[in-house]
Structure 1
């Protein structure tokens, strides 16, 4: 299948808990993500709630409840609030840093590919993606875009995993057409300076 070999979608997504949710192997996790994101979108987008005020008010309520719970527990000789020790492990920080490093290095690689190597194919892909994001973003606000992104994340990987063979066959054709157009465009761009030099001579 060319560049689109039979790669496991689950492995491509990291083969972890996130991959299980995106591919609906963890149905409970997928349902929770879908319901929570829908409730948040409805509250803040349709209900008119302000997200900063909502978070601050809920944190204020939580702190007050915990304070009075702790005081009453001391007076009535009851157990204290069951709050676990919140401690981020060094391993978690290193994993997050490694993940960020991969994305940042990829962004630098794309920028270098465009600015230094003059890769027209990469330039077209980046410009098209940014234009599409800008165009879609003009119709929705940020919260709605995030919600749409969650919905797409919960549907596209799942559908691709189910119909990978059919999709890959179409992607091979698109890939060949894109390469053909890119080669023709590079040939035209290489001919422009030489034509200009012939006219000046």
Structure 2
């Protein structure tokens, strides 16, 4: 008999998620924050989707109530010689703006590199992957509205990492089988369809 197959390498899910407070939240190591996020997301979805409440009216009423409370608090503080309401510093720092700009720039450059690979280098494999991905997103978007998609994303974010971290070995076995099947199907599609599509040679224009 041959040597037994070694067990697959386990992935540190917490490190893969960044290893910070967000990772602890998604893995339910901060269960109180997870419950609060799930409850608030469910309440928001039910309020706007089932109760038929309008988002603009809700935002306006919430801001009006907040301004009214702060106004009455400030007036009573002046009359009773009490401290003013503690308002946080609402200024956006330049560092946070620069970090957000770097992230956005990285995503834009990645999208432009994919577009160049498809249009200039005529990568049919990448074109097929992008077309399938956009088609799947379009189909899912036609089934749900934006708020429902956000709520589903929150529920999946609070469930998928936790389940994968707990049952990683069993899920990896199923994923390996699925990946091998998809590879065989794509190889057949590549041989029967993609390789038969004539691709003109990529001629770069000479700049005089």
Query: Under a length normalisation based on structure 1, what TM-score does the superposition of the two structures give?
Result: 0.81
Pick aligned residue for 2:100 from 96, 99, 118? 96
**Structure 1 residue aligned with 2:130:** 126
Structure-2 separation of matches of 1:118 and 1:146: 34
Contact kept? 1:24, 1:30, Cα under 8 Å: yes
Q: Give the structure 1 partner of residue 143 of structure 2.
A: 139
Q: Tell me, which stretches of 5 or more residues in structure 1 are unaligned?
A: 195-201
Q: Give how far 1:184 is off.
A: 3.8
Show CA shifts across 1:83-140 (max 9, x none): 1222333333333333333333333333334333444443333333322332232232
Q: Give the secondary-structure state (helix, strand or coil) at the position aligned to 1:167.
A: helix
Identify the residue that residue 198 of structure 2 maps to in structure 1. 193
User: Quick one: higher RCO (CA 8 Å, sep 6+), 1 or 2?
Assistant: 1
| CA–CA distance in structure 2, aligned partners of residues 53 and 160 of structure 1 | 40
1:171 positional shift: 2.3
- Show the 5 A alignment for 1:1-201: 6-188=10-192, 189-193=194-198
Instruction: Name the SS for the 1:154 alignment partner.
Output: helix
**What is the CA–CA distance in structure 2 between the aligned matches of 1:58 and 1:167, rounded to whole Å?**
44
CA distance in 1, matches of 2:139, 2:157: 20
Q: 1:182/1:170 Cα in 2 relative to 1: closer, same or farther (>3 Å)?
A: same
Q: Which has the higher helix share?
A: 1
Residue 192 (structure 1) shift: 4.4
Aligned length: 192
Q: For 2:128 and 2:118, how far apart are their aligned partners in 1?
A: 10
CA RMSD of aligned residues (A): 2.6
Q: Runs ≥4 in structure 1, deviation > 6 angstroms?
A: none
